[in-house]
Amino acid sequence: MSDHDVIVQPAPVPAPRLILLFHGVGSRPEDLVPLGRILADADPAAWVVSVRSPEPCDLGSGWQWFSVRGVTEGSRPARIAEAMPLFVRSVRDWQARAGVDAAGTTLIGFSQGSIMALESTQLPETLSARVISIAGRFASPPRVAPPATQVHLLHGDQDTVIDPRYSLRAAETMQALGARVTVEIFPNLGHGVDARVAARVKALVV
């Protein structure tokens, strides 16, 4: 939990639900506030927080969970593993503040934020009941089916930053492992969030 996180909506403690949003590399928590407001309006009893990544982005403005400078398919998993303890701590700190356990928590990530949220489903501990990935990917194919976490993969078919095939392949692999997973590809959408994605996220959360 950081003083720089943006509380979109506080709620009484203990709250029934906690919704955490995680932005992409080079972005800020404020960038996901419009989506957070949609979710807050739909669920007035929930805490809704847009979380700031811990490190300044080394490619310009904004923030990052891990550096993408010179990143490769081989080096990405190690960078994520190094960043994961802080990600877990952030989730746990907000759960403690809101009085919400993993069963009442939803993690929503965009791009690098979704990479972190997706990889958290491969940990031995359960962080959340639901992970919604927008324009994201696993660093490497998922290895286990998270027993208590639903995974939803949303992706634009015109995404040139993270290929939508990563979401399709992840869904196939997770289904084969026995995970609860859905995937939805949005026509004519690049690397971003539009009204269709926001409506889908709202439907998944509420």
Residues annotated as catalytic are 111, 159, 191
Phi first, then psi, for residue 70 (nearest 5°) are 70, 15
Strand bridging mode 6-9 / 47-51? antiparallel
Q: Is 56 helix (H, G, I), strand (E, B) or coil?
A: strand
Contact 134, 24 (CB under 8 A): no
Structure tokens at 123: 């940990």
Q: Which of 127, 176, 132 is nearest to 152 (CA)?
A: 132
For the record, the structure tokens of 97 come out as 């503040």
